[in-house]
Amino acid sequence: MKPAPFEYERPESLGEAVGLLAEHGEEAKLLAGGQSLVPLLALRLASPSVLIDLNGVRELDHLRLEGDRLAIGAMTRHRDVEEMAELRTRCPMLVEGVSLIGHVTIRNRGTVGGSLAHADPAAEWPSLVLALEGEIDATGPEGVRTIPAEEFFETYFTTALAPDEIVSEVRLRIPESPRVGSCFLELARRHGDFALAGVGALLELDSSGSITDARVTLIGVRDRAVRSSGAESVLVGARPDAEVFAEAAEAIDPEIEPVSDIHGTSEYRRHLAKVLVRRALALATERAGGV
């Protein structure tokens, strides 16, 4: 099939883009990398009367690491984050998660802001911004509104963005301590497919080897990405070992609601999530210098 007819706008500034979105309202759709929207257009699952192409808005394309803060413009491509050399040692979780997004050709075009706004519960970026205590700037006619990551994702493909707002930047807290380890693991039926379940883990150890900070996030097991407060409460203050990791994995149980589909039952996804939590915590501990 081919897309339904639409008008095409290509603004060159964020202000112009916001104005066009306010003018056309629900009749408009924003085009970033197009990796999610274009297939929907082709199948006529989305039929906007106006398409606003953000690829000419250069102020949305930036990537800056300053101290412990990584600022990412909404139009930054996944591949740019994946290839940022300093992140490979300071925050492997981020690079590993991004590298699992589709294939290289998709990462070359797909954008960080587009993925966040799309809010697929099986996508990697929502989990990453939750684990790294991200905050998301939404720009609209009234100016810029900053939304904490834990308040941004609401349910399937639904966010706290207002209809006239555009994701403009996301900021993440990148670990600086050498005693922090992180990783991202997921299982998909084939490389490049959406994950059946995925886990991001970050641990910080003190000089005695005890856990002083823990982040555990999951994808593919609920209507949105999940940060597990239950698992984290088990981990903080404990010494990392297989028994503690198993207890943390069990603690995710009441926080997830996996569904059954043709790829796996809810019971299978629940079991898989727990296995991935244990493995991710063990790898994060090793990278933090633990045993």
Residue ranges of domains in the chain, CATH in brackets: 7-56 (3.30.43.10), 58-173 (3.30.465.10), 180-287 (3.30.390.50)
Cβ partners under 8 Å of residue 3, min gap 6: 41, 42, 44, 47
Q: N- to C-terminal Cα distance for the chain?
A: 55
The pTM (predicted TM-score) of the whole model is 0.96
- Give the per-residue pLDDT at 192: 84
Strands 69-73 and 63-66: antiparallel
**266-287 helix and 242-251 helix, angle to the nearest 10 degrees:** 140
Residues 3, 42 contacting (CB under 8 angstroms): yes
- Give the per-residue pLDDT at 1: 66
Run of H or E including 126: helix 124-131
Q: How far apart are CA 252 and CA 265, in angstroms?
A: 17
Residues 285, 205 contacting (CB under 8 angstroms): yes
- Give the per-residue pLDDT at 291: 67
Q: How far apart are CA 252 and CA 222, in angstroms?
A: 11
- Give the per-residue pLDDT at 260: 96
Residues 185, 283 contacting (CB under 8 angstroms): yes
- Give the per-residue pLDDT at 2: 85
Token pair in block for residue 95: 């690079």
Cβ partners under 8 Å of residue 45, min gap 6: none
Q: What is the CA radius of gyration of the chain?
A: 19
DSSP 8-state secondary structure symbol assigned to residue 184: E
Q: How far apart are CA 81 and CA 245, in angstroms?
A: 30
Q: Which residues of the chain register pLDDT less than 50? A: none
